[in-house]
Amino acid sequence: MEKQTLISIYATELPENEMDDNSLNDLFYEGTETEYRLALRAAAEQVSGFLKNNKQPFSGIKPATLLAEFDKISLDKPLSNYKSVFEEVNALYIKHATAFHLPQYIAHLNCPVVIPALAAEVIISAINSSQDTYDQSAGGTFIERRLIDWTGEQLGYNNQCDGVFTGGGSQSNLMGLLLARDYYALTYLGHNIKLDGHPVNANRFRIFVSEKAHFSNQKNASLMGLGEQAIVKVATDERFRMDARKLEQAILNELEQGNIPIAIVATAGTTDFGNIDPLQEIARIAKQFNLWMHVDAAYGCGLLLSEKYRHLLNGIEQADSVTIDYHKSFFQPISSSAFLVKNKLHLNIIKHHADYLNPKEQDYDALPAQINKSITQSTRRFDALKLWFTLRLMGKQKLGRYTDRIIDTTEQAACLIEGSGQFELLSHSDLGVLVFRYLPQHAGEVDPCAMNLHIKQTMFFNGEVLVASTKVNGQFYLKFTILNPLTTIQHIQHILTIIQKHGKDYEQRHQHTPAYS
């Protein structure tokens, strides 16, 4: 009977959109439990096919070719059965989806995901709880709160900390800067920005970040009405970490100009180099000048799992707020992120009451509401369940071993690149990012920027290896981002061999090509 039902749901035509009993059989309710289970089984088969069929991280399809396939689709004409839908989605999406789980994918901050979190996704999407109020997600409220408390413990915070799950690191960083701005205005100017808007001197507010910090700082300053001019970039040391002495001097310079320092953003794991700013020194300076200290640990949060490398985050416990991306370094599916504050009372700054949702007279100790802690999301997905499944089935220690393996492999890779004589390595990494370029001693007149751009693009459209890139001092570099515990030094060696092959091919054809600009 079940086999016949599977065939029915997969291949037979769907009913016309008439309002009769048959037209309601796509809704998720007790009458469609069998259809739901079989539809998920069919979807799981597509995922299994994705795992079995992908031997390289990308198909190499060109945008124009793929766009031409989309141009054939009319969304006003529904398909007649699941078989047709799966075939279409496979052709348009699955077949060309980037396979982050393969060791040949070594480009961006996309981690492979753990199976317990995928099991949680099934429950999350079907039950579809919203995390804004207790009456919409009773157990979910306390699961999220418990995980925030647990994360605070890993940071070294006490029981006065609090936080909320967010959609990603950029959103969490926005919350950090927003609280920093409003806290400063309330505490030192007696001005309530939430109610009254910016004070007249807000154009002189200054926020200090590393020159290698995430671009979301500039975007967030703009969104907050301070403008990108509020961001002061501080020079870095030889490992591309914020230079604490230059930070202190930058603050003094702004004070001399009559500007108003309000916050420092330290980065625990830069996107380009995977290195960690000197958190203890920055905390000392923040305290000295009465500045809010926010730590963007969207990437480096994985160190919280590691006994071997946890010390690299020493000083983070002194931060006023921290960004965490579980979907970068805890092997969680997108999205799974959080924003934490050391003092839970600071979240009152962003609280706003609505009579229909979180009325002012409600006792929130007795009847909690997570919406009081969120700035941009009312309806909010129960992403915390994924991390709950992961910790309860795998535990912190196993995840920590994954992190240790990644860091160890990265250091081996750095030494391999450095000692080969074929590459220029810019820096070793605290985490898993290596910036380098193919630059053999015999390169002659070949422009290294053009050559390395060619290497990256050739590998991408061959689909064989995906690496990232960046520019440092105007020069084009390749970038490895190692986030996969399955990646070994043998995989790295193979990738470097492919890079050398494409580099040598380019050298032979372009010895006298004008320089790339």
Beta bridge partners of 400: none
142 half-sphere exposure, CB direction, 13 A CA radius: 6
- pLDDT digit string, tens, across residues 437-485: 999 877 678 899 999 999 999 999 999 999 999 999 999 999 999 999 9
Range 236-259 average pLDDT:
97
The encoded tokens of residue 309 equal: 């490398």
- pLDDT digit string, tens, across residues 282-331: 999 999 999 999 999 999 999 999 999 999 999 999 999 999 999 999 99
**What pLDDT is attached to residue 516?**
46
**What pLDDT is attached to residue 371?**
74
- pLDDT digit string, tens, across residues 82-114: 999 999 999 999 999 999 999 999 999 999 999
- Domains located in the chain, CATH noted: 2-85 (no CATH), 130-393 (3.40.640.10), 397-509 (3.90.1150.10)
Picking from 283, 265, 367, 240, the residue whose alpha carbon sits closest to that of residue 322 is 265
> In this structure, are strands 337-341 and 475-481 parallel, antiparallel, or unpaired?
unpaired
User: In angstroms, what is the C-alpha Rg of the chain?
Assistant: 26
DSSP string covering 191-252: --HHHH---TTGGGEEEEEETTS-THHHHHHHHTTS-GGGEEEEPB-TTS-B-HHHHHHHHH
Instruction: Outline where DSSP puts E strands in 117-202.
Output: 162-166
Residue 1 reports pLDDT greater than 50: no
What's phi and psi for 338, nearest 5 deg?
-155, 155
User: Residue 350 — pLDDT band, cuts 50, 70, 90?
Assistant: confident
User: Please, what is the average pLDDT of the chain?
Assistant: 91
**What pLDDT is attached to residue 103?**
96
Give residue for tokens 């396939």.
69
Residue 517 reports pLDDT greater than 50: no
- pLDDT digit string, tens, across residues 129-188: 887 877 787 888 899 999 999 999 999 999 999 999 999 999 999 999 999 999 999 999
Q: What percent of the chain has pLDDT over 90?
A: 81
User: Residue 9 — pLDDT band, cuts 50, 70, 90?
Assistant: low
**What pLDDT is attached to residue 102?**
97
What's phi and psi for 502, nearest 5 deg?
-70, -35
372, 351 contact by CB (below 8 A): yes
Distances in Å between the Cα of 472 and the Cα atoms of 211, 217, 449 are 11, 19, 11
Residues 374, 129: Cα–Cα separation, whole Å: 16
User: Residue 15 — pLDDT band, cuts 50, 70, 90?
Assistant: low
Residues 434, 427: Cα–Cα separation, whole Å: 7
Residue 514 reports pLDDT greater than 60: no
3-state secondary structure of 174: helix
**What pLDDT is attached to residue 17?**
47
Picking from 140, 154, 172, the residue whose alpha carbon sits closest to that of residue 338 is 172
167, 335 contact by CB (below 8 A): yes
- pLDDT digit string, tens, across residues 290-302: 999 999 999 999 9
Range 343-370 average pLDDT:
73
Residue 389 one-letter amino acid: F
DSSP state of 84: H
Range 203-223 average pLDDT:
95
**What pLDDT is attached to residue 306?**
97
